[in-house]
């Protein structure tokens, strides 16, 4: 990796070749605040070249058997796994996350995404039915859609990109992917392994650049019939409008304002350690992070005290230090936005118990220009406040007491988002009841972020449209056709 003033310059990967771009964007190391990498500022020309390459590769790739495609994908996974440390270092430097998180979550999961979908698509069956009275046999065929446009965000860069690339190519599509312009390095590193893995030229094309230029060109390209997007709800609106004239297939994985409901009978110790993790992991920059914690009133004072004590131990520091739980936020602008929510909470009369403005950070000299913020716990915020309604996407969580189960569910549901929720209780009946009534695509009870990739992932309300994972990804990345045969 380039460092010590030497800049890393990325190139687009199109048709199996690395191609320079005429303009570049600065990419910052969030832990130092310094530019360390140049990312292509691609536009419609580069996107069009990539779409043509993907179209050219489609007939061959789509006609290969799932087992043949799996072989290539598994080889790519092996090559990435062999370079896990290198990938983890790059992800940490590019995104600001801790090396520990990149090493144990981002990169292993990226490898797993490839292996999972390589295997998974070989195990789905299609439907068959007989209509006896007509003497007809009905069955379904699933075919890849064509060139898939894949757009991913900056918080889990390679993890979320491979979550799209893997099912797309496993099902026989070819792809043009655009990672976030803020975190493009590991995608570029993965492209360097494509040839050795045996990925034919044009099957995976990577176009780097901003949303309004490269992203927009991809979404608006007439030869891209399907777009899978993970990012903010605001961008999803633009993408929906832009793709509407073409009737594209869309999958939208968006933001969240995820509640935890803690009942008095919960295992408090387990709940606190998991909820601190669910609130602050990856600097709170995970769409599934908990940001509103409703606690039954009888245990609220004790819970708050213990939660704040645990949050204070959640160390923010140099991402390469193994003792750091959190690294830096993605950008200066994002740090200011997150700080703005804490300021607003204070202005509205809330209490900030720890973190921003309360606890000073002890950072090494090299990190003094970085975008760090300590784990912050707030109480006394009204449900109607923007702090309780909008996605903050940083290390900030709000606690509030509740009296009745009914009330907790209704307050948890009282936002425009519906991505994930957690419920803490030992009462199985209540857990089922509450899970059924929560407006969220994922409900974890007495745990958080436990994922079986076979099961649907996605949100309701403003948190998304469609589901991905296992059979859902298989369905999204293929078109189904019903064939009826009369004897
Ligand atoms: P973002 O919407 O700003 O950007 C996401 C991607 O879209 C980037 O690659 C960006 O360049 C691109 N983009 C921006 N404008 C575009 C346009 N007009 N046309 C096409 N592409 C465009 O989101 P972000 O700030 O990178 O990511 C954070 C958001 O992502 C949060 O809201 C978070 O909750 C959400 N997220 C959701 C999930 C999920 O699975 N539901 C997972 C991770 C992150």
CATH number of the domain enclosing 169: 3.40.605.10
- pTM of the model as a whole: 0.97
Q: Are residues 434 and 482 in the same domain?
A: no
pLDDT in tens, 244-297: 999 999 999 999 999 999 999 999 999 999 999 999 999 999 999 999 999 999
Q: Are residues 365 and 227 in the same domain?
A: no
Range of the domain at 249: 2-254+463-486
Q: Are residues 271 and 187 in the same domain?
A: no
Reported confidence tier of residue 130, pLDDT bands at 50, 70, 90: confident
Question: What share of the chain in percent tops pLDDT 90?
Answer: 96
Question: Catalytic residue among 11, 253, 356, 391, which?
Answer: 253
Give the residue whose CA is nearest to atom 35 of ligand 1.
231
**CA 273 → CA 298, 379, 420, distances in Å?**
20, 18, 18
If you average pLDDT over every residue of the chain, what do you get?
97
- CA of 254 relative to ligand 1 center, distance in Å: 7
Q: Are residues 275 and 226 in the same domain?
A: no
- Is the ipTM reported for this complex over the cut 0.85? yes
Q: Which regions of 338-477 does DSSP assign to beta strands (E)?
A: 351-354, 376-379, 396-402, 417-418, 420-424, 442-445, 460-461, 464-465
Q: Are residues 283 and 422 in the same domain?
A: yes
Give the residue whose CA is nearest to atom 20 of ligand 1.
215
Q: Are residues 100 and 233 in the same domain?
A: yes
Has residue 1 got a pLDDT over 50? no
Reported confidence tier of residue 7, pLDDT bands at 50, 70, 90: confident
Q: What is the predicted pLDDT for the residue at 487? A: 78
Q: Report how many domains make up the chain.
A: 2
Q: Are residues 60 and 196 in the same domain?
A: yes
The structure tokens listed for 104 are 């144990």
How far apart are the C-alpha atoms of 472 and 44, rounded to whole Å? 31
CATH of the domain at 284: 3.40.309.10
- Which atom of ligand 1 is nearest to 238's Cα? 18
The structure tokens listed for 330 are 């993605």
Q: Please report the sign of the dihedral spanned by the C-alpha atoms of residue 338, residue 340, residue 345, residue 351.
A: positive
Has residue 361 got a pLDDT over 80? yes
Question: What share of the chain in percent tops pLDDT 70?
Answer: 98
- Measured between alpha carbons, how far apart are the two ends of the chain, in Å? 65
pLDDT in tens, 429-476: 999 999 999 999 999 999 999 999 999 999 999 999 999 999 999 999
Q: Are residues 90 and 231 in the same domain?
A: yes
Q: Are residues 77 and 163 in the same domain?
A: yes
Q: Which of 232, 329, 441 to mutate to test the pocket of ligand 1 (most atoms within 8 A of CB)?
A: 232
- CA of 276 relative to ligand 1 center, distance in Å: 25
For the question of residue 253 being annotated catalytic, the response is: yes
């Amino acid at each position: 990796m380039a460092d010590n003033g030497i800049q890393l310059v990325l190139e687009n990967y199109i048709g199996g070749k690395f191609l320079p771009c005429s303009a570049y964007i600065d990419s910052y190391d969030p832990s130092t605040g310094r530019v360390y990498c140049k990312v292509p500022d691609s536009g419609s020309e580069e996107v069009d070249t990539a779409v043509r390459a993907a179209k050219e590769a489609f007939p061959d790739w789509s006609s290969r058997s799932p087992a043949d495609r799996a072989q290539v994908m598994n080889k790519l996974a092996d090559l990435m796994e062999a370079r896990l440390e290198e990938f983890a270092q790059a992800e940490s430097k590019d995104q600001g996350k801790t090396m520990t998180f990149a090493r144990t979550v981002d990169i292993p999961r990226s490898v797993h995404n490839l292996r999972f979908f390589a295997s998974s698509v070989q195990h789905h069956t299609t439907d068959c039915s007989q209509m006896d009275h007509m003497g007809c046999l009905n069955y379904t065929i699933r075919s890849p859609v064509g060139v898939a446009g894949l757009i991913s965000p900056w918080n889990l860069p390679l993890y979320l990109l491979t979550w799209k690339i893997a099912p797309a190519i496993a099902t026989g599509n070819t792809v043009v992917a655009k990672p976030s312009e803020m975190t493009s390095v590991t995608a570029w590193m993965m492209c360097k392994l494509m040839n050795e893995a045996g990925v034919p030229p044009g099957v995976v094309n990577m176009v780097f650049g901003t949303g309004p230029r490269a992203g927009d060109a991809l979404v608006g390209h007439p030869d891209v019939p399907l777009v899978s997007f993970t990012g903010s709800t605001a961008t999803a609106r633009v993408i929906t409008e832009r793709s509407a004239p073409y009737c594209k297939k869309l999958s939208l994985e968006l933001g969240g304002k995820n509640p935890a409901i803690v009942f008095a009978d919960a295992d408090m110790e387990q709940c606190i350690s998991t909820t601190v993790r669910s609130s602050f992991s990856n600097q709170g920059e995970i769409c599934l992070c908990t940001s509103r914690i409703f606690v039954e009133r009888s245990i609220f004072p004790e819970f708050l005290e213990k939660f704040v004590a645990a949050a204070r131990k959640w160390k923010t520091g140099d991402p390469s230090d193994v003792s750091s739980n959190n690294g830096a936020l993605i950008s200066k602008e994002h740090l200011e936005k997150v700080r703005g929510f804490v300021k607003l909470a204070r202005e509205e009369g809330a209490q900030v118990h720890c973190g921003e403005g309360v606890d000073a950070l002890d950072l090494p000299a090299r990190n003094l220009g970085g975008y760090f913020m300590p784990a912050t716990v707030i109480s006394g915020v009204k449900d109607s406040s923007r702090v309780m309604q909008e996605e903050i996407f940083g290390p900030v969580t709000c606690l509030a007491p509740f009296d009745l189960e009914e009330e907790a569910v209704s307050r948890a549901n009282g936002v425009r988002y519906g991505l994930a929720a957690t419920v803490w209780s030992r009462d199985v009946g209540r857990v089922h009841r509450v899970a059924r009534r929560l407006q969220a695509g994922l409900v974890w009870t007495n745990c958080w972020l436990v994922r079986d990739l076979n099961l649907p992932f996605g949100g309701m309300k403003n948190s998304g449209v469609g589901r991905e994972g296992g059979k859902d990804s298989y369905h999204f990345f293929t078109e189904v056709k019903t064939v009826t045969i009369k004897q």
